[in-house]
Amino acid sequence: MGLDHQIAFLLRESAQRDPERRAAALKGLGRIGRTGHARVLVEAAGDPAPSVRAAAASPWAGSVSRRPAQRSCPC
């Protein structure tokens, strides 16, 4: 299955009734990492199912630094 077919499958799955299927699809879309899927992920952030909301946020979770912010001013 080519990448375009996988993306089409994941987009269909992201609209299913079962929250676990939606969550799995969103994780897949997040791993692919195309900016065109950001809208789907952002919309899913408002899903009533916690697992779906977590999956929608997962692509950004690794990009957030866990270190404290550095002061830019030596005040």
What's the pLDDT tens digit per position in 3-60? 999 999 999 999 999 999 999 999 999 999 888 888 999 999 999 999 999 999 988 7
- Kindly state the helix (H) or strand (E) to which residue 57 belongs, with its residue range: helix 50-61
CA distance 29 to 40: 9
CATH class of the domain whose range is 3-61 = mainly alpha
The domain locations on the chain are: 3-61
What pLDDT, on the 0 to 100 scale, is given for residue 1? 66
> Side chain identity at 22, as an amino acid letter?
R
The SS3 assignment for 50 reads helix
Looking up tokens 């269909």 gives 12
Nearest C-alpha neighbor of 16 from the set 52, 68, 63: 52
- Dihedral class, residue 69 (left if φ above 0, else alpha if ψ from -120 to 50, else beta): beta
